[in-house]
Amino acid sequence: MAWKCWLKIALLCFVSLVSVVLGTTDSGDYAVLDEFRRGLSNPELLRWPTNSKDPCGPPQWPHIFCSGSRVTQIQVQDLGLSGPLPHDFNKLAMLSNIGLQRNKFTGNLPSFNGLSNLQYAYLGGNQFDTIPTDFFVGLSSLQVLTLENNPLNQSTGWTLPPDLAHSAQLMNLSLSHCNLVGPLPEFLGSMKSLTVLKLSYNNLIGGIPVSYSGLPLQILWLNNQEGPGLTGSIEIITNMTLLNDVWLHENQFSGLIPDSISALSLLTRLWLNNNRLVGPVPESLINMSQLQSLRLDDNMLVGTVPKLSISNFTYAGNSFCQNTPGVPCSAEVTALLDFLKDVNYPTRLSDSWFGNDPCTSSWLGISCSNNNVSVINLPNYQLNGTISESLGALDSLVYVLLGGNNLAGPIPDNMSSLKSLKMLNLSFNNISPPVPRFPTSVKVLLDGNKLLQNPPSPGSPPGVGLPGVSPPSTDSPTPPNQPSSSGNGTKSSRKLNILVIVVPTVVGASVVFVAILLLFFCWKSKTNVFVAPNSTTTQPSKATNQDNPHKLVAKNVVNSSTSTSGFQSIASSGTGSTHAIDSGNLTIPVQVLRSATGNFALDNVLGRGGFGVVYKGELHDGTMIAVKRMESSVLSNKALDEFHSEIAVLSKVRHRNLVSILGYSAEDNERLLVYAYMQQGALSKHLFQWKQLELEPLSWKKRLNIALDVARGLEYLHNLAHQSFIHRDLKSSNILLGDDYRAKISDFGLVKLAPDGKQSVVTRLAGTFGYLAPEYAVTGKITTKVDVFSFGVVLMELLTGMMALDEERPEESHYLASWFCHMKTDKEKLRSIIDPSIAITDETFEGVPVIADLAAHCAAREPHQRPEMGHAVNVLASLVEKWMPINDDQEEYLGIDFHQPLLQMVKGWQAADGTTDVCSASLNDSKGSIPARPAGFAESFKSSDGR
């Protein structure tokens, strides 16, 4: 037997001899690995022997696995390697599994073209900056490909080449955060093995392709598309019956949450927040017992918040009628929501019809009388669908004005028995017979409905236009102006190409009432030419204006691109107007405002703003308004600019956290702006003067909500679809509180349109000391980050109850911003400056440090260190909905939590424990107790013309 043993030993010796001298590894594979190692700046981390040319060994090199002489795996994840990959990487022809994730690889990603054995490719979390077009060719065995978190083709973006369609076994495709652009690739719908698709944080647009129906997806992440985001319905996901985890948040998805969502019996997490979804939350969701986490916040959902037995259910920022799950809406609201349903939930209405009281929350198109809905005024709203029977239950209705829409179907029978109805205008729709018999007291306008050749409406001759409306008595609700049916036919011809000012209807109706009264007067005295809405009259006639500058023209306008309003009056500006107002008109005669404010009585002064005094007023119908009156002594060009700027801006923006303008006057030396009245007044009052004014101090909850409201308003201002506005004068006295303590930002006189791109513009210094960002004070350069700074200061005020600038305080604390940053580095010090009127509870205990960090982050010295407002919204929203425990359930999928930058950042802050936060780091060159202010900061205060 011994010879056999000897033979074995000899063989072994030979084999090892061969391997030492020649190596068993394929020389091409070795060459690639060698080039790989040489390219790295830190190859020592690999611990590859420098004297061996035989990666396959024995001994095998660390991180390398072979089959025979060929390299099959490279596993170097999380080693911190930095450098490029060799360009001929695809010569490793037998490679089946490669793990390069979470290193610092840079440069071009080499082509993987032809790696037909490759099954698993983990390349995420690196710094690869280009991907070649032929990367995906011939990857016929590919099952997993992750490229997420690489700055691939950043400047141009890239689209997924269809070559990938040939990887028929692909199960997991993770391309989040890697600059994909364009629509979702249609061809992915043909990949019948795909179970994980993660495309978050790209720049994808368009809808989810129909071809995706029936994909065996378990995880679908399409959230947080930068740019315009994904659009269209989410209905198709209900056909992906294996779905377990769905992230569609932070996009522009619209339409309903489909009832059939309950077909997804494996779904455990559904995040739909921050989209444009409308309609109610489907009942069927309630029965999805396997669902563990549901996020619906910041959509336009209406109706009742469902009572779900899920702990992780968020729904703030919608149009629900109640905040409490399970509490039903009032009968009136239910009826109006049924109406909304039958016109397919148009977004403008879904957005504005929130809360449980149509009469106080300025619902678009709704006016009230004695706290009951009396007017539905939605002419030319491009409404489609049918008229709901539910209107027949609203006995308080007096005027139903739906002319110039696209409504089909018959008029519900029960509408003919509405007790108070005086007018039903359905002209220029597509109403079909039969028409119910209305009492003669009701004016029914039905012309322009081609299915009703002979409108059998008693007592209402067709073609009755506005002059036929009899002026209402003072105690009956005021009829808004009508879409005139004497005009010429088509809806488009009635569209006027001017900007439209938002008219919340309660007051809007009164404003128009005034216009109508005047019109009526003019009509009677035969000095006026009534101009029918017609495409030829896009502006009040010049000749007429010269003849008589007070002549009024009332008409309906709708502007499809900017429109948020159904009606308004257009009047020539007053005689004394030196600055033309281009942005559409909503003038109110000074006389009306004079009587509303008791001739600007001192008793009615609400406050003093930048260029004038704000008065409380009450219109004849009881509507409360706030009137800002410019002092005639300051009618400088600058002040006039602010006046016009405010009208121009407010006519373009509309958001529930920005005050809305109701109208203005510009006659002779009067310049007046009219806003909805905010019952609780300025935030500053509640923070700094609550004792004198005998108010309740603001609770922590209210403060958080206010902060979130303000953040949302600013975010909106900064991120309008095509433009970005900078407020420039955010401060607590410009933040107004409604009866419910919801906040709105006001005072838009200094708002600037941000230039395209993100560069800054140099402007005249304006704003308020204490809130001014340092770079702005010094250089006059503004970006949206100027507002972020001011917001940081407001947060500090909310936390401390101290004013942004107070010369009465000891010198080091004159400026809250710099002092706060200094104090917050130390927990004890931070505690000592928290507003003593905030009760310390578990909630505040957890929230205070987060808000303090956010405040400091926002008020960081360098603009680039400050976050975008969206970040602040996220931080605040998560607090408002109770503090979410940081237990990364994301980690179950990937190990790295890149989808939750918020949580990561918060974690980072908590770890740093105040020692390295942005705001103190930027100021820590001052060793003493007073952080240095930037050079020139103080001087710029003195030399400027601020207020």
- Fill in the per-residue mask, 371 to 410: x = in contact with ligand NAG (CB under 6 A), - = not in contact: -------------x--------------------------
Q: For ligand NAG, which residue of 239, 334, 577, 837 counts as binding (CB under 6 A)?
A: 239
> Is position 448 an interface residue for ligand NAG (rule: CB under 6 A)?
no
- From 130-138, 397-405, 560-568, 722-730, give the range in contact with ligand NAG by CB under 6 A: 130-138
**Closer to ligand NAG at the Cβ: 484 or 505?**
484
- Fill in the per-residue mask, 635 to 674: x = in contact with ligand NAG (CB under 6 A), - = not in contact: ----------------------------------------
Please give the residues from 54 up to 73 whose contact with ligand NAG meets the rule CB under 6 A.
none
Q: How far is the CB of 96 from ligand NAG (least distance, A)?
A: 24
**Closer to ligand NAG at the Cβ: 487 or 867?**
487
Q: Is 642 helix (H, G, I), strand (E, B) or coil?
A: helix
**Closer to ligand NAG at the Cβ: 133 or 440?**
133
Q: How far is the CB of 351 from ligand NAG (least distance, A)?
A: 12
Q: How far is the CB of 386 from ligand NAG (least distance, A)?
A: 11
**Closer to ligand NAG at the Cβ: 75 or 534?**
534
Contact residues for 661 (Cβ-Cβ < 8 A; gap 6+): 501, 502, 586, 646, 647, 650, 651, 673, 674, 675
**Closer to ligand NAG at the Cβ: 50 or 156?**
156
CA dihedral 604, 609, 611, 614 (to 10 degrees): -20
> Is position 260 an interface residue for ligand NAG (rule: CB under 6 A)?
no
Q: DSSP for 435-490, please give it.
A: PP---TTSEEE-TT-TT-SS---TT--TT--GGGSPPPPTTSPPPPPPPPSSS-S-
- Residue count at the site for ligand NAG (CB under 6 A)? 26
Q: How far is the CB of 332 from ligand NAG (least distance, A)?
A: 22
Strand partners of residue 64: 74
**Closer to ligand NAG at the Cβ: 381 or 819?**
381
> Is position 529 an interface residue for ligand NAG (rule: CB under 6 A)?
no
* 191-207: burial string, b at 16+ Cβ within 10 Å, e else: beebbbbbbbbbebbeb
Q: For ligand NAG, which residue of 74, 123, 131, 257 counts as binding (CB under 6 A)?
A: 131
Q: How far is the CB of 488 from ligand NAG (least distance, A)?
A: 3
Spatial contact of 930 and 940, defined as CB atoms under 8 Å apart: no
Q: For ligand NAG, which residue of 338, 618, 843, 889 counts as binding (CB under 6 A)?
A: 889
Q: Can you say whether residue 39 is alpha, beta or left, with left for phi > 0 and alpha for psi between -120 and 50 degrees? A: alpha
Q: Is 367 helix (H, G, I), strand (E, B) or coil?
A: strand
First-to-last alpha carbon distance for the chain, in angstroms, is: 106
Question: Is 628 assigned to a binding site?
Answer: yes
Q: For ligand NAG, which residue of 128, 158, 201, 741 counts as binding (CB under 6 A)?
A: 158
**Closer to ligand NAG at the Cβ: 293 or 545?**
293
Please calculate the CA angle 772-776-777 and round it to the nearest 5 degrees. Answer: 65
Q: For ligand NAG, which residue of 316, 529, 532, 896 counts as binding (CB under 6 A)?
A: 532
Please give the residues from 548 up to 567 whose contact with ligand NAG meets the rule CB under 6 A.
none
- From 79-87, 153-161, 649-657, 864-872, give the range in contact with ligand NAG by CB under 6 A: 153-161
The C-alpha atoms of residue 399 and residue 418 are separated, in whole angstroms, by 11
Q: For ligand NAG, which residue of 236, 264, 522, 765 counts as binding (CB under 6 A)?
A: 236
> Is position 116 an interface residue for ligand NAG (rule: CB under 6 A)?
no
- From 60-68, 125-133, 194-202, 217-225, give the range in contact with ligand NAG by CB under 6 A: 125-133
Among candidate residues 497, 490, 502, the one with its CA nearest the CA of residue 566: 502
Task: Decide: residue 220, CB within 10 A, 0-12 exposed, 13-18 middle, 19+ buried.
Answer: buried
The C-alpha atoms of residue 702 and residue 793 are separated, in whole angstroms, by 17
> Is position 130 an interface residue for ligand NAG (rule: CB under 6 A)?
yes
**Closer to ligand NAG at the Cβ: 342 or 797?**
342
The C-alpha atoms of residue 719 and residue 707 are separated, in whole angstroms, by 18
- Fill in the per-residue mask, 485 to 524: x = in contact with ligand NAG (CB under 6 A), - = not in contact: --xx------------------------------------
- Fill in the per-residue mask, 207 to 226: x = in contact with ligand NAG (CB under 6 A), - = not in contact: ---x--x-------------
**Closer to ligand NAG at the Cβ: 889 or 897?**
889
Directed axis angle between helix 842-858 and helix 816-823, to 10°?
A: 120
Cβ-based neighbour number of residue 325 at 10 Å: 14
What's the DSSP call for residue 180?
B
Among candidate residues 163, 31, 269, the one with its CA nearest the CA of residue 892: 269
Tokens 């309906």 correspond to: 556
Q: How far is the CB of 717 from ligand NAG (least distance, A)?
A: 25
The C-alpha atoms of residue 668 and residue 445 are separated, in whole angstroms, by 40
Contact residues for 588 (Cβ-Cβ < 8 A; gap 6+): 511, 514, 662, 663, 664, 665, 672, 674
> Is position 312 an interface residue for ligand NAG (rule: CB under 6 A)?
yes
The C-alpha atoms of residue 743 and residue 710 are separated, in whole angstroms, by 6
Name the strand (E) or helix (H) holding 892: helix 891-894
Directed axis angle between helix 842-858 and helix 700-718, to 10°?
A: 30
**Closer to ligand NAG at the Cβ: 405 or 665?**
405
Spatial contact of 623 and 504, defined as CB atoms under 8 Å apart: no
Q: For ligand NAG, which residue of 526, 885, 911, 925 counts as binding (CB under 6 A)?
A: 885
Q: How far is the CB of 504 from ligand NAG (least distance, A)?
A: 20
> Is position 334 an interface residue for ligand NAG (rule: CB under 6 A)?
no
Task: Decide: residue 774, CB within 10 A, 0-12 exposed, 13-18 middle, 19+ buried.
Answer: buried
**Closer to ligand NAG at the Cβ: 311 or 929?**
311
Q: For ligand NAG, which residue of 101, 111, 153, 275 counts as binding (CB under 6 A)?
A: 153
Q: Is 901 helix (H, G, I), strand (E, B) or coil?
A: helix
- From 19-27, 35-43, 126-134, 500-508, give the range in contact with ligand NAG by CB under 6 A: 126-134
Spatial contact of 520 and 438, defined as CB atoms under 8 Å apart: no
> Is position 344 an interface residue for ligand NAG (rule: CB under 6 A)?
yes
Q: How far is the CB of 912 from ligand NAG (least distance, A)?
A: 25
Q: How far is the CB of 383 from ligand NAG (least distance, A)?
A: 7
Q: DSSP for 56-110, please give it.
A: T-SSPPTTEEEETTEEEEEE-TTS--EEPPPTTGGG-TT--EEE--SSEEEEEPP
> Is position 269 an interface residue for ligand NAG (rule: CB under 6 A)?
yes
The C-alpha atoms of residue 92 and residue 894 are separated, in whole angstroms, by 27
Cβ-based neighbour number of residue 690 at 10 Å: 15
Among candidate residues 648, 675, 620, the one with its CA nearest the CA of residue 362: 675
The C-alpha atoms of residue 630 and residue 612 are separated, in whole angstroms, by 4
Q: How far is the CB of 142 from ligand NAG (least distance, A)?
A: 16
Q: How far is the CB of 820 from ligand NAG (least distance, A)?
A: 32
Q: For ligand NAG, which residue of 169, 284, 293, 334 counts as binding (CB under 6 A)?
A: 293
Q: How far is the CB of 228 from ligand NAG (least distance, A)?
A: 17
Instruction: Take residue 822 and report the two structure tokens written for it.
Output: 């200094």
**Closer to ligand NAG at the Cβ: 342 or 667?**
342
Would you name the residues annotated as active-site residues? 729
Interface ranges with ligand NAG (CB under 6 A): 130-133, 153, 158, 161, 210, 213, 236, 239, 269, 292-293, 311-312, 344, 346, 384, 487-488, 532, 534, 885, 887, 889
Residues flagged as binding site for ATP: 628
| Sequence ranges of the binding site | 628
